[in-house]
Amino acid sequence: MLFNNRTERYFVWVFFPLALLMPLFLEQNTFYVSKLTTVMIFAIFVMSLDYLVGRCGLITLGHAMFYGLGGYIFVMIAPEYEAVNFWVYTFYICVIAAAVALVIGFLVLRTSGIYMIMITLAFAQMTYYFFSDSLDFGGNDGVFIYVKPDTSLFGLSLFDLENPTHFYYLCLLSLFNTLFFFRLVTRSRFGRVIDSIHENPGRTTALGYNIFVFRLMAYTMASALGAYAGYLFTLQYGFVNPSMLAWTTSGSALVMSILGGIGSIYGAILGVLVYEGLHFSLEHLTEHWLLFMGALIILMVILFKNGIAGYLEKLLERR
């Protein structure tokens, strides 16, 4: 079975049906639909990071670079006032981001641990300043995307991106596919090697695996998915800003992934839901929401050994 852990199975069975029905409840209020869309987009991003950090042991503080690139690549390659094809551009963006990741990964994967955190940060910051200082891409203020792509595939147009509910379903589908994909990958033979490398890189080399290549592939894959999430985010409101690439974005994603349960993949969704949910509700309650947010985060680290997913597993996995 693909979702072989009981908690994960429950989660998938509860979350996705609920998410499918959600717009029915919220139809009157497009904001909630949009908000959930944003959450799901970010969950894709966090999931790709979770795979890198939790499964591959490649801790990066530069993942937002690809999130931002997802948007900026689109701005760079798409004509300004003409609707392009969504799928074609998804392909372009993923391929270009993967190419960038291949080059950057080739450099950063020589280091490990904290050194890798810092060197990925370095590359992300360089990209950040590149766009933030640039006059062509709106600089610090960001740029607009005026025309959203159309999503026809073989003449069949399933989603209208201008319609928030359609966009919501597109993102939900993407999220499910991402989860499904990562599950396949972690369960595969490739996944076995990745697990081994995570646990003991030296031993894996001694067994004859070229760990660099495996890491590079994982890095490239996760980066391309991160870019895809950024692309979706950009399309949601048609707005790109360099802050998408800032280290704070990477930091938030890392926080959500740890909160959700690092390495559990589906925990990414939990992490984003809980973090964003707390943020959303506290922000409305009090001006000093930061205080409560911080206190709750501290409390959760202390109480949950392996994030929220770990906590749920402790509750549900008892036979």
Partner 1 sequence: MTTSLFFVQLINGLQYGLLLFLIASGLTLVFGVMGILNLAHGSMYMVGAYLAWYFVQQTGSFTLSAVISAIIALLIGIVVERTLIQRLYRRNHLDQVLLTIGMIFVFNALQSILWGNDPLGVQVPDAMSAAIPLTDVVEYPVYRLFVALLCVAIAAIMYYMINRTRLGMLIRAGESNREMVECLGIDISRLYTIVFAIGVMLAAVAGVIAAPMSSIVPGMGEHVLIACFVVVVIGGMGSIKGALIGALLVGLVDTFASVLLPQLSSMMIYILMAFILLIKPQGLFSS
Partner 2 sequence: DNAEPIKVGVMLPFSGIYAALGDAGRNGLKMALKEHAGELHGRQIEFIEMDTEAKPERAPEIASSLLNQHHANFIIGPVHSGVAMGMIKVLKDQDTIMIIPNAGANAATGPLCAPNIFRTSFSMWQPSYPMGQVALDSAYKRVVTMSWNYGAGRESLEGFEEAFKAGGGEIIKQIMVPFPKTEFQSYLSEIGSINPDAVFVFFAGGGAVKFVKDYDALGLKGKIPLLGSGFLTEGTTSAQGPSAEGIRTTLHYADGLDNEVNTKFRQNYQQMFGKEADIYAVQGYDAGLLIAKAVDQLGGDISDQAALIQAMESTTLLSPRGEVSFSKAHNPIQNIYLREVVDGANKVIDVPAAKLEDPARGCKL
Partner 3 sequence: MNNNVILESQVILETEGLCKYWGGLKALDDISLKFHDRELHGIVGPNGAGKSTLLNLLCGHYKPTSGRIVHEGAPIDAIKPYAFARRGIGRSFQKTNIYPNATCLENCSVAVQRRMGGSFNFLRSRHRQEVLEEIATEALEKVGLLSRRNEVAAHISYGEQRQLEIAMVLATSPCVLLLDEPMAGMGHEESQLIIELLKQLKQEYCIVLVEHDMDAVFELSDKLTVMVDGQHLTTGTVDRVRDDPRVKEAYLGQGDEVY
Least distance to partner 3, CB of residue 85, Å? 26
> Out of 2, 88, 126, 158, which residue is the one contacting partner 1 (CB under 8 A)?
126
For partner 1, which residue of 240, 262, 270, 274 counts as binding (CB under 8 A)? 262
192 interface partner picked from partner 2, partner 3, partner 1, none, CB below 5 to 8 A per type? partner 3
Give the pair of three-digit tokens for residue 141: 């203020």
Question: How big is the chain by its Cα radius of gyration, in Å?
Answer: 19
- Which residue has tokens 């109480």? 303
Whole-angstrom distance, CA of residue 117 vs CA of residue 121: 6
Interacting span for partner 1 (CB under 8 A) from 25-33, 165-173, 232-240, 249-257: 249-257
Q: Which residues contact 260 (CB under 8 A, 6 or more apart)?
A: 46, 50, 267, 268, 269, 270, 271, 272, 274, 307, 308, 309
Residue 305, classified by CB atoms within 10 Å of its CB into exposed (0-12), middle (13-18) or buried (19+), is: exposed
By rule CB under 8 A, what string of x and - marks binding of each residue 37-76 to partner 1?
A: ----------------x-----x-----------------
Contact between 86 and 161 under an 8 Å Cβ cutoff? The reply is: yes
Among 2, 17, 95, 111, binds partner 1 (CB under 8 A): 111
Nearer to partner 2, 54 or 68 (CB): 68
Interacting residue ranges for partner 3, rule: CB under 8 A: 184-185, 187-193, 195-196, 199-200, 202-211, 214, 217
DSSP 109-123: TTS-HHHHHHHHHHH
Answer with the entry of partner 1, partner 2, partner 3, none that 205 interacts with (C-beta below 5 to 8 A by kind): partner 3
Query: Do 179 and 44 contact (CB within 8 A), yes or no?
Result: no
* Site residues (vs partner 1, CB under 8 A): 53, 59, 107, 110-112, 114-115, 118-119, 121-123, 125-126, 129-130, 132-133, 247, 251, 254-255, 258-259, 262, 288-291, 293-298, 300-302, 305
